[in-house]
Amino acid sequence: MVKMSLDPVQVMSGQVKELKVAPSSNGDSRGSWEEKEEFSQDHLGLTTKPKPPKPENAVTIAVSSRVLFRTETEQKVFEQKGVEEYLRYQIEHENEPFAPGPAFPFVKALEAVNTRLRELYPQSEELFDIVLVTYNHAHVGIRLINTINHHNLFIERFCMTGGASPIGYLKAWHTNLYLSADADKVREALAEGIAAATMFMPEKLTEVSESQLRVAFDGDAVLFSDESERIFKAHGLDKFFEHERENEDTLLDHGPLKGFLEALGKLQKKFYAKGQRLDCPIRTFLVTARSAASSGIRALKTLRAWGLEIDEALFLAGAPKGPMLEKIRPHIYFDDQMFHVEGAAEMGTIAAHVPYGIAQKHQKVSKKNTTVAK
């Protein structure tokens, strides 16, 4: 199974298709701030940016700095020399941008959707709003701001907690999705009812769309509850099929990421209302190990009853998900089982683990090491 890393986030050479971003201090070459593009200016010569939406109106995505950017060098300084030397290092290097991390293509795709939404609805605040969340001290904020400007990202909201838990702040931001390198904090967020996942960077990357946000979901214990998975784990596949047939017309309960799919669907409908269904910059996928004929109908009936649309549904009947995800090329794929997360990463997909449900008691350890930040 593929080796994945979060902290440091590593990309192995040779098989990687490089992201189209400026050189930076943690990448293959060093960069300077003079290389970045400037924002457009108004008739008075003042730099102009779009206003961020109010949190209660937006689809809020909270992203840890450790998954948005690569911070492996800094992490080594912290681990080997302590917090004071770490802060000193950050200040000394604050004019050197961080390289992109696993969440970077996802965030760029969110911003591409916002651009389209602003063209269609100039006054609307129903947009993606990105909040950068970091355990760092405020001194590190200068380097983070410099990095964001260097990569031409539109992130105005920061949450720098100085080592404290960010979960309370996530609730105040009305967070729809939290992406982090810290599995413990992800579990804490899920326990508070916040959709959350731990991100992983594969050793190789599949090139993804720059104009269409593509998000793929597992079904059980991600969009749906783990009710059916509990039957399978306890009684086997035959009992699972029997249970699904008997409960075909009984809706599945919601899972931790149902709300995020709802938020995506709400924005999709804004494009549909303008006659852009076939040119919508958001596309969603269900990629499940369920079989279509024997257990898929219950999943589809549940989504329909919820009023949710999935653009594409793949029922794999237990086949590996990695090859299908390689063809889909999502910016992010959510699954509750590390086996599938690793299989996706092996094929170059950026996958995120949702540590929810009965499968967490049955996780198998990969034969290869998987480094997860603590």
Residue positions annotated with a catalytic role: 218
Residue with tokens 């795709």: 109
Distance set, CA 195 to CA 22, 299, 311, 335 (Å): 31, 20, 21, 12
CA 305/CA 319 separation, integer angstroms:
27
Question: Tell me, what amino acid is at 168?
Answer: G
> Coil, strand, or helix at residue 7?
coil
Hey, what amino acid is at 118? R
| Strand partners of residue 180 | 198
3-state secondary structure of 115: helix
Element (H, E) at 117: helix 104-120
In angstroms, the CA 225 to CA 232 distance is: 13
Cis peptide upstream of residue 53 (ω within 30 degrees of 0)? no
What is the number of residues in the chain? 374
| Dihedrals phi, psi of 315, to nearest 5 degrees | -100, 110
- Which residues fall within 8 angstroms of residue 226, CB to CB, at 6 or more apart? 220, 255, 336, 356, 357, 358, 359
